């Protein structure tokens, strides 16, 4: 399994989601069932030279978007986890002919 080592160059956003099944009855009452924690997600951005962004693009294309899993060390941790890209498309914004930026969402595989 490949390892994604390119470091984000600016802030990231982490998401923690809980899976709760809510059933509403006609009387107005509701029943809740906790189904467990969902996979964590991280939205990370990369900004830099075209070569730096090409590394991200290449890794993304080699994984065929969200198709193939890989290992990654989330920001603020030291332990690698199994993840995949969440989206099947990647947009790169170019700033002139020297710099570019992109953003990906990475989803933990539970």
Residue-wise pLDDT tens digits, 28-46 = 999 999 888 778 888 999 9
Which residue is listed with tokens 């107005």? 28
What is the domain extent for residue 48?
3-108
Say what the pLDDT of residue 14 is: 72
Say what the pLDDT of residue 1 is: 85
Tokens of 78: 């030291």
Among 82, 77, 74, 67, which residue's Cα sits nearest to residue 1? 82
CATH number of the domain that 83 lies in?
2.40.30
CA angle 27, 32, 34 (to 5 degrees): 170
C-alpha–C-alpha distance, residues 41 and 105, integer Å: 7
Residue-wise pLDDT tens digits, 51-95 = 999 999 999 999 999 999 999 998 888 899 999 999 999 999 998
pTM for this prediction: 0.76
Question: How many distinct structural domains can be found in the chain?
Answer: 1
Tokens of 5: 């080592």
């Amino acid at each position: 399994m490949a390892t994604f080592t390119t470091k984000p160059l600016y802030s990231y956003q982490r998401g923690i989601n809980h899976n709760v099944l809510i059933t509403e009855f006609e009387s107005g009452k509701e029943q809740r069932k906790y189904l467990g924690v969902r996979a964590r997600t991280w939205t990370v951005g990369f900004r830099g030279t075209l070569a730096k962004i090409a590394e991200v693009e290449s890794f993304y294309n080699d994984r065929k978007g969200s198709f193939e899993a890989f290992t990654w060390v989330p920001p603020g941790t030291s332990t690698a986890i199994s993840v995949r890209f969440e989206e099947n498309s990647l947009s790169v914004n170019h700033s002139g002919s020297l710099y570019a930026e992109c953003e990906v969402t990475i989803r933990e595989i539970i």
